[in-house]
Structure 1
Amino acid sequence: MNDVLYYIFLTTLSVEFLMGNFGNAFTVLVNIMDWLKWRKICFIDQILTTLAISRVALLFSLTASLFVSEKYPEIIITRKIMIQIFILWTVTNHFSIWLATCLSIFYFLKIANFSNSIFLHLKWRVKKIVLGTLFASLLILFLNILVVNTHIDLWIDRIEANTFFRVITSNNSEAAKLDLLTNSMFTLIPFTVTLTMFLLLIFSLWRHLKNMQYNMPGSKDISKAAHLKALQMVVTFLLLYSIYFLSLLFQFCDINYELKNSISLLFFITEAAFPSGHSYLLILGNTKLRQAFISMVWWLRCRFSDVEPRVL
């Protein structure tokens, strides 16, 4: 691989790591300060804060695994260490995706409008539905970890049987592929849930616009704006989610699976772009976070230009 291209990829990954952690840390900081000020925190802020924390953990797990593989390519990794590495990524990736899926469910139940009694029953219990979905995902996480652990054990046992050694090197492409394929299959579940929320939101908006043709416009325009805002949030999440999912599948198809290979590094950058970029989309889509972010940018601009900051 060309050295210039290699360092460009590493620089891009470093920028994604810094920007992603900054955006997620900003979300956590704003919500914690708001909680300390008012002694309470709304449910949506709880979801955003927990999601941001999981994204920070995911970025650290991704970057740490790449750093170890790049700086210490010949490091000896025991069975226990390898399992811990894969499980750490699996857990952080799980909560990053499922919390974002819960956010989509929250938007749908809060904004969509159907006269169906089942939907109304769910709408009145949105907090319980979201928490129930998150707790149910823990069962999927348990199954995911169990499958990954089984794959790694079988692979290491085969290595030990052939080499008579109790340790293996970081040349673990087969185990990594199995882990990626397993996680890709498990991420299909939250992806399907989010896609369903998106389609139902579109249907709800269509019914709302249809009803507006027979009624005087007024307060229902607020519902239209809420629908469009929720659709924007879900669509951007689905786009980033799709790119992230495809990057996992393409890495499985990469036969050589070498981190120094340009294609593999590109896929790694694509993976990191999901938790990094989505944090800023959430900031822009949330009124409180957006205003705090604009105030911070204005304050920094005034500080660097030696101008007295102005309160927005």
Structure 2
Amino acid sequence: MDHNMSTPLGIILLIIFGIVSIAALLANGFIIVVNSHSWLKSRKFVPCDLLLTSLGIFRFLMQCFVLSGQFIYVSSPMDYMCSYAWKIDALAWMYFNMANGLGTTCLTVFYCMKVTTFSHPLFFWLKSRIDRLVPHMLVMSILAFVLFSISPVVGFWRVESSCSLARNLTANTSHSEALEGSLYGILNPLQFSFSAISFSISLTASIFLIVSLWRHTRNLKNSGIHTKDFSTQAHIEVIKQLMFFLFFYILYFVTMIIAMTNILIYGKVERLVSDIVFSLYPSAHSIILIRTNPKLKGVCTRILSSRERSS
């Protein structure tokens, strides 16, 4: 184990990282299983379920690579950083991280189109066709980032030359530092571009959605409907969940930008903190999606109720 990870703080952070990772796997696994079961029964994926299932798959696989990479590194840091396992793990995380961003963007745009109302003709045209556009929007987004990432991925496999370089470095420079400098110099521009675009669109759609829900809630109150009315309370609850989503998403994006500067070296405690934040976002947002989706919430409630009765 790396010296930084063997300290009390490092061990505590590893435990927190493991708990958050398991929560992310369980939450996204639950979304995948419930929606896949519904599809097997009806043989039909509604657009919302398609987006939720795709996003759940992206996040589940992304978290698997984050979890495996961290613990393999902890058990054998020097061997891992110069192995093909490290390159495959880092490349897979990059792909699923960008896919996660694209899936989040598609989902927030879908919700925005379904809930908000604007008088612009283009908006009405999109709103009436959003159900049919969802599969095409998701597939085209994924194909776009795969197409633009072909060239950087080819260069990625040249990183093994840094292993021989790292062995000749002074004692002040680790394998991790040398390899990360080469790796992220290749992948950072691509990842930053797609992440920034996805983040901007998701943030804009979420803000529109919050504003629309808030105006609708205010209109309900002004029309004489009591504040404890079910519809009003439901809108307020959704606004709260959206605010939580934005908090975790902004925290995740800022941490990713910091990690791209190569300040956080793999194997250091600071990098482990960033990995916890990377795992916290897909975990927290997936739980929020379960809480706000009637079908997922209903299944989750039934499972918890049956466990309480059996105990």
Interval containing the TM-score (normalised by the shorter chain): 0.7 to 0.9
Match of 2:291 among 284, 291, 296: 284
Q: What secondary structure is seen at the aligned counterpart in 1 of 2:266? A: coil
CA contact (8 A) 1:148 1:182 kept: no
- Number of corresponding residues: 297
Superposed displacement of residue 64, structure 1: 1.5
Corresponding residue number in structure 1 for 2:115 = 111
Shift of residue 283 of structure 1?
A: 0.5
Q: 1:209 to 1:283 in 2, by over 3 A?
A: closer
From the superposition, tell whether residues 230 and 126 of structure 1 become closer, same or farther in structure 2 (CA, over 3 Å).
farther
- DSSP-derived class of the 2:247 partner: helix
Task: Write the deviation string for residues 244-281 of structure 1: whole angstroms up to 9, x where unpaired.
Answer: 1122222234546131x211111111111111221111
Q: CA RMSD in A?
A: 3.4
1: distance between equivalents of 2:7 and 2:82? 31
Contact 1:27 1:49 survives alignment (8 Å): yes
Find out whether 1:88 has 2:92 as its counterpart: yes
Tell me the distance in 1 between the aligned counterparts of 2:259 and 2:126.
39
The answer (yes or no) to whether the contact 2:217–2:236 under 8 Å persists in 1 is no
Shift of 1:38: 3.7
2:67 to 63, 66, 91: 63
Conserved? CA contact 2:264–2:271, under 8 Å: no
Report the residue type matching 2:207 in the other structure: L
Secondary structure at the counterpart of residue 288 of structure 2:
helix
Q: Take 2:124 and 2:79, find their aligned partners in 1: how far apart are those partners? A: 57
Q: Cα gap change, 1:162/1:24 in structure 2, threshold over 3 Å: closer, same or farther?
A: closer
- 1:301–1:105 CA distance, 2 compared to 1 (3 A): same
Return the TM-score normalized by structure 1: 0.80
Q: Could you say what secondary structure the match of 2:206 adopts?
A: helix
Q: Aligned to 1:125, what secondary structure does the other structure show?
A: helix
The CA distance in 2 between the partners of 1:243 and 1:297, in whole Å, is 30
5+ unaligned residues in a row in structure 2: which ranges? 169-174
Specify whether residues 303 and 176 from structure 1 end up closer, same or farther in structure 2 by C-alpha distance, changes over 3 A only: farther
Alignment match, 1:272 = 279
- Residue 133 of structure 2 is aligned to residue 142 of structure 1: no
Q: How far apart are the structure 2 equivalents of 1:126 and 1:48?
A: 15
Contact 2:24 2:284 in 1 (8 A): yes
Are the equivalent residues in 1 in contact too, given 2:94–2:191 (CA < 8 A)? yes
Alpha-carbon spacing, 1:205–1:270, altered in 2? closer, same or farther (3 Å): closer
1:130 maps onto 2:138 in alignment: no
Unaligned runs of 5+ in 1: 305-312
Answer whether contact 2:210 2:242 (CA < 8 A) is retained. Answer: no
- Shift in Å, 1:297: 1.3
Q: Matched residues in 1 for 2:27 and 2:166: separation? A: 47
